[in-house]
Amino acid sequence: MLDAPWFRMVLGNHEQMALMALLSGVEFNWQRNGGDWFYRLKGEARSRAEALIHRCDALPLIIEVANLPQKIVVAHADYPAGHYLYDQPVDGEEVVWSRKRITRALEGRGSRIAGADLFIFGHTPLKRPFKFLNQLYLDTGAVFGGRLSLLRIKSG
């Protein structure tokens, strides 16, 4: 989907693990967390997969969906600040890995993130999409046999 003109993506933990495995030559963490498919590839298929993985290094951590009446922000796991500001420096590890905000939200004790109308996150598998305040968590565990959840965002 990296080449689809209609598709945008943020860097997630699996892309980060894949990049680290290719750059360091240490595959254990990625291999046991879904990357085993890569090590079964041979020849041209492996070369193509490796090239695509390297392209993930240019993926943004956070995107703001443009041309909408409301401000929608997408990040893989979390937005680790109480107020969103475009291009504000944030901890990339928190954006890709953190489960702090969703843990609090599931306990009913989280808080809004100021600066945008809606934040969309994945990373933490749930039985169904979960909306809490201005945060929407969409990972419904398709990788574990759950449903695949998608959200189509369109202007107007």
Please identify every residue annotated as catalytic.
14
Which one, of 59, 60, 58, lies nearest residue 79 by Cα? Answer: 60
DSSP bridge partners of 137 = 121, 130
C-alpha span between 29 and 23 (Å, rounded):
13
Tokens of 110: 């989280």
Q: Which long-range contacts (CB under 8 A, 24 or more apart) does 50-56 make?
A: 50/22, 52/2, 53/15, 53/18, 53/19, 53/22, 54/19, 54/22, 55/2, 56/2, 56/11, 56/15, 56/18, 56/19
